[in-house]
A and B are shown apart, each in its own frame.
Chain A
Amino acid sequence: MASQRSDDSRLALDLMAQLRDPQWALEAARIEEEAHCDISAGPEFGARLGQFMADPHSFHQFQRLRDLVLREFRQLLTDGNLGVGTDAAWSVGQERLMLRLKQPSPNIQAQLKLVLAEDLATTENEPLSADALALFQQAVYAALTPEDWDDIAAAAAKAVQMHVKRQLKLQQSA
């Protein structure tokens, strides 16, 4: 263990020396010239938030954002007291929400980014602040179009209707 630490210290010193070595810089410049291209790296969740919402495995923070969004949507449905229509509404709404969040408006992006930053700053079991939660609920609600909400409501209504029909049939056959 002590030997590994000593090796790491030596490696770190070598890398530090390399960084300020003009000869190393000339060789690095030659490689850059050969490549003759941009060297930018890294995904972005600004204008391309949607792309990374769709690729959560590589980026834990987006997994967290996706989980947060879905959890909040589920809460909205629970608060709506949809009863047996909840699961159907959830199924339609979840799909629409992921679709809408592939290209959210700049306003919704900004709200989600703020909440994500707050969530990342909190510990695992610490709830979001009331302000952040309110902002988040607003963003989740606004991300869905009126047509989406109509479809979610229709799915819930249909599920309730089917449930009632099944119940009536059961009573008639009894």
Chain B
Amino acid sequence: MVQLPVSLVRGHDQQSVEARLLDLQPRHVADFQSLWQAQLRQFSQADKYWDWAFKERLTIRNANYEGYAVEYGGRTHGLMMLETQWHSSQFYPGQRLVYVAALSVAPWNRLPIQNPPQFKTVGSALLSFSRLRSVELGYGGRVGLHALPGATGFYERKNMMRLDPDLDDRIDADEEALTYFEYPALNR
């Protein structure tokens, strides 16, 4: 049972607050559905149709999926699902990694929607936690993910290695190709 203190930065006064990073639970999914989703739709966010209820079921029924949430003040501020057994490095063949299958922060914490956001660093904390899980699993901190189209700038600034999609590999020309990012192993 994960329950980890994480530091967030309050948007309006830059003060840090201590939130909690927890295992994904039904109340987090309920928050997504009741508090997030209308705003995500209003602002046409790419993750507006994400089905966190389905993801939560996956995490319950499959040991290789793990779900986490960042909670503060009784509200869910960020969600993440990791896949821990099936993925390996795109840069170092054969090296296993933790794959961020989904990472999403509450609409009120997104700069493009609300400036200043209620809390900064929710996504950074979740990403950092994925590295922690990678270390715990013996993968050395290697983490891979596909960034949504509006999010590549963030992962570039986090100094992750980038692998652009091969557009010729698409079966459908309308298909959206996502850019892959990867953290290498941390120095032991």
Contact = CB atoms under 8 A, between A and B. Distances in A.
Interface of A: 4, 7-8, 11-12, 15-16, 18-22, 24-26, 28-29, 31-44, 46-48, 50-51, 54-55, 58, 60, 98, 102, 113, 117, 120-121
B135 A15 contact: yes
A20 B127 CA distance: 14
B29 interface: no
B77 interface: no
Contacts of B1: none
B147 A7 contact: no
Given A35-B156, A44-B102, 11 more contacts: A8-B188, A11-B186, A19-B129, A22-B9, A24-B7, A28-B121, A41-B146, A44-B47, A117-B54, A117-B57, A120-B61
A32 B121 contact: yes
Given A26-B9, A37-B112, A42 B146 contact: yes
Interface of B: 4-9, 14, 16, 18, 21, 45-47, 49-51, 54, 57-58, 61-62, 81, 86, 100-105, 110-112, 120-121, 123-125, 127-129, 131-132, 135-136, 138, 140-141, 145-148, 150-158, 170-172, 175-176, 178, 180-181, 186, 188
Contact of B7 (A25, A35, A40, A60): A25
9 contacts: A4-B188, A8-B136, A25-B120, A26-B9, A28-B124, A32-B121, A36-B112, A46-B51, A54-B171
B6 A20 contact: yes
Contacts of B131: 15
Contacts of B61: 117, 120-121
A25 B101 contact: no
